[in-house]
């Protein structure tokens, strides 16, 4: 099995958050990509009102096509789960495994805002209206670090899920059992993963496991590869 991994980051983030993981995997013989989605990370200067979920899905679709990649382990963290679900709809034949890391696991017609509920959605919309770039959701903590405002259109647009070929891609869901602020924000998606028959794992950490449990994160990827290789030999 080709050991190709693409990391898709979450809201406000960027590919920079996966540099350490990528370096470790490259040393183990992996081909690793950690793109920043349009308007985020080092591509913040491209932020504009037209960015939506389709934009971010195409970021990854076009990366895979332009690099002529196949048998990709596509990893989505948090909001990245929306993106990888959309990518699977477009190019399922290019993917060998979907890995949802404490991520959203949407169904057809759902958007970020519909999944979070009207109260929080309106809170985020009000934050954007008050920001200097009203097409972005700013961060709601005082020190942003390397995080940047996130294009709100990606939260408004619903994902389309209707491709039977995408539904048979092997998938793993990893649920972090120590959620921030005591909120089990991703339990719904963990339960959905179980109902779909995905491989299900838990990590005893908070939401950003790429920072807190990198070795365990890598072990999960390596196990996916090892299992796939065994299945190919049968």
- Could you tell me the fold of the domain covering 4-108+161-233? Rossmann fold (3.40.50)
The pLDDT assigned to 180 comes to 62
Sheet strand arrangement including 95-101: 31-33, 4-8, 72-77, 95-101, 171-176, 199-203
Q: DSSP class of residue 47?
A: -
Q: pLDDT by residue for the chain (234 residues), tens digit each?
A: 569 999 999 999 999 999 999 999 999 999 999 999 999 999 999 999 999 999 999 999 999 999 999 999 999 999 999 999 999 999 999 999 999 999 999 999 999 999 999 999 999 999 999 999 999 999 987 777 899 999 999 999 999 999 999 999 999 999 999 866 545 678 999 999 999 999 999 999 999 999 999 999 999 999 999 987 666 665
The pLDDT assigned to 181 comes to 54
The pLDDT assigned to 27 comes to 96
Enumerate the domain spans of the chain: 4-108+161-233
Strand, coil or helix: 37: coil
The pLDDT assigned to 185 comes to 74
Q: DSSP class of residue 69?
A: -
DSSP-assigned beta bridge partners for residue 77: 101
Rounded distance between C-alpha atoms, residue 185 and residue 112, angstroms? 12
Rounded distance between C-alpha atoms, residue 95 and residue 92, angstroms? 5
Q: Token pair of 166, please?
A: 């995408």
Rounded distance between C-alpha atoms, residue 102 and residue 81, angstroms? 8
The pLDDT assigned to 145 comes to 86
The pLDDT assigned to 227 comes to 85
């Amino acid at each position: 099995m080709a050991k190709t991994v693409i990391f898709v980051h979450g809201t406000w983030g960027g590919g920079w958050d996966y540099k350490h993981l990528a370096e470790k995997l490259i040393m183990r013989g992996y081909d690793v990509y950690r793109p920043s989605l349009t308007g985020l990370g080092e591509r913040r200067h491209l932020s504009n009102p037209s960015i939506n979920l389709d934009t971010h899905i195409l970021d990854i679709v076009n990366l895979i096509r332009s690099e002529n990649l196949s048998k990709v382990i596509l990893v989505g963290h948090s909001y990245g789960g929306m993106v990888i679900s959309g990518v699977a709809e477009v190019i399922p034949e290019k993917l060998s495994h979907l890995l949802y890391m404490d991520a959203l696991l949407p169904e057809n017609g759902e958007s970020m805002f519909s999944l979070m509920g009207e109260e929080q959605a309106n809170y985020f919309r009000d934050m954007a209206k008050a920001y200097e770039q009203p097409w972005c959701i700013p961060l709601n903590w005082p020190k942003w670090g390397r995080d940047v405002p996130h294009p709100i259109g990606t939260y408004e647009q619903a994902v389309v899920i209707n491709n039977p070929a995408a539904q048979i891609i092997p998938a793993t869901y990893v649920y972090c059992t120590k959620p921030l602020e005591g909120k089990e924000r991703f339990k719904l998606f963990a339960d959905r993963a179980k109902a779909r028959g995905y491989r299900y794992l838990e990590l005893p950490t908070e939401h950003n496991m790429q920072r807190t449990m990198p070795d365990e994160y890598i072990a999960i990827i390596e196990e996916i590869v090892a299992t796939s290789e065994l299945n190919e030999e049968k």
